[in-house]
Amino acid sequence: MKENSLGERLKQARIEKKMTQKEVAGDFITRNMLSQIENGLATPSIKTIEHLAKTLNKPIAYFMETLVDENMTCNENNVIDIDEALVFFESKDYLECKNAVDKIIMSIDDNNLPANFREIYYLAWRCSIEVGLKFFLDKDYINAKQLLVDSFSYEKKTPYCDLNIKMNELLLLTKICIYLNQVEEAKQYFSEYEKLYSEYNYQNDSIFVKCELLLKDNKIDECKELLDKETTPALKSSFRYLYFLSVLYFENKEYERAIETFSKLIECSEITLQIRNDINKYIAECYSKTGNYEKAYEFMKKVVNLNNLAH
């Protein structure tokens, strides 16, 4: 790491400008958050760094380079080591996990993303929500809101967006905005929550429950017949309909078609880790059945990585 920490550089730049913590924080963050950054107890988001750089008349690189570990590089498989962050995550030390992941993200070149960038941004998303919840419980609503809003930028780069977690995040943001008397924003977040809630319930329609039961009994033809009878356009284009269709391809030994449809589904951002794991297992099995053991191994490694994130 660089000799001077970000906190030390921030404090030095603030003193040089003869500004108080309150003046530097402005309306963007709280004075308490700025104090934590200066004392090395919190890692600022990229947006916060941009604010600090503008306020203190410093280039962004002045702060950014202190966060990048020169040894934090990709290995020969283009993978960044996230073991330290995972240890914090698994022990539910979300603040330390977020700090570790933020440093990793600072080292990422957007033009040359590491192979495990989705796992990295998933950790950043989850930890931002958990730390935001802690701030909320401590009645630090401003910092709680900032963390949750910042988490949206991480969410866009990860396909592991669990709908239940996303809905809880939107509901929490609604409550925070109510406490801050930001009524219009509260309405906006609650509207997004209601939309996801209705879609989530809709996708749990009885047809899919029945399909699952039929597959459990190995009644492949009956399941296919049930799906073929469905005429509702919205339901036929839904994720779960296409998921069961892919499973039928697999069960009928149409492995190439199964790989094609499963591969499209895996890019969907609104699926749970469990379903993503199931899809990876199916794809691995398809490649194994067709003799492509290298690809089969690749997808089984993804299963292992997701299992590490889930526990």
Q: Which domain CATH number covers 54?
A: 1.10.260.40
176 touches 143 (CB < 8 A): no
Q: Residue 83: which of 249, 239, 285, 305 has the closest Cα?
A: 305
Residue 126 or residue 81, greater confidence: 126
Of 68-77, 218-227, 237-246, 269-278, the one with minimum mean pLDDT is 68-77
Q: Would you say residue 181 has pLDDT above 70?
A: yes
Per DSSP, what are the bridge partners of residue 270? Answer: 160
Judged against a pLDDT cut of 70, whether residue 253 lies above it is answered with yes
Q: Is the pLDDT of residue 159 over 70?
A: no
pLDDT tens by residue, 284-307? 999 999 999 999 998 888 888 766
Residue 73 has pLDDT above 70, yes or no: no
pLDDT of residue 70 exceeding 50: no
**Average pLDDT of the chain, as a whole number:** 81
Residue 96 scores a pLDDT above 80: yes
83-90 vs 117-137: helix crossing angle, rounded to 10: 40
pLDDT of 68 > 80? The answer is: no
Residue 260 lies in a domain: yes
What is the per-residue pLDDT for 3? 42
pLDDT in the model for residue 2: 41
Same domain, 195 and 90: yes
Tell me, what's the pLDDT at 67? 53
Assigned domain for 10 exists: yes
Residue 44's domain comprises 6-64
Residues 58 and 11 in one domain: yes
Query: Is 124 in the same domain as 143?
Result: yes
The listed range with the strongest mean pLDDT (35-44, 105-114, 288-297, 298-307) is 288-297
Selected residue with higher pLDDT from 139 and 79: 139
128 vs 150: CA distance, rounded Å: 8
Dist. CA 88–CA 100, nearest whole Å: 9
Please answer whether residues 252 and 261 qualify as being in contact, where contact means their C-beta atoms are separated by less than 8 angstroms: no
Comparison of pLDDT for 162 and 194, the residue scoring more: 194
- In the predicted structure, residue 12 carries a pLDDT above the cut 50: yes
pTM strictly above 0.75 = no
The confidence score (pLDDT) of residue 115 equals: 77
pLDDT above 50 for 192? yes
Residue 65: pLDDT above 70?
no
194 & 114 share domain: yes
107 vs 67: CA distance, rounded Å: 8
Work out how many domains the chain is built from and give that number.
3
The CATH number of whichever domain residue 260 belongs to comes to 1.25.40.10
What would the mean pLDDT of 6-21 be, rounded to a whole number? 88
Q: Is the domain of 115 the same as that of 220?
A: no
Together in a domain, 289 and 223 = yes
Tell whether 89 and 183 lie within a shared domain: yes
Query: What pLDDT does 310 receive?
Result: 55
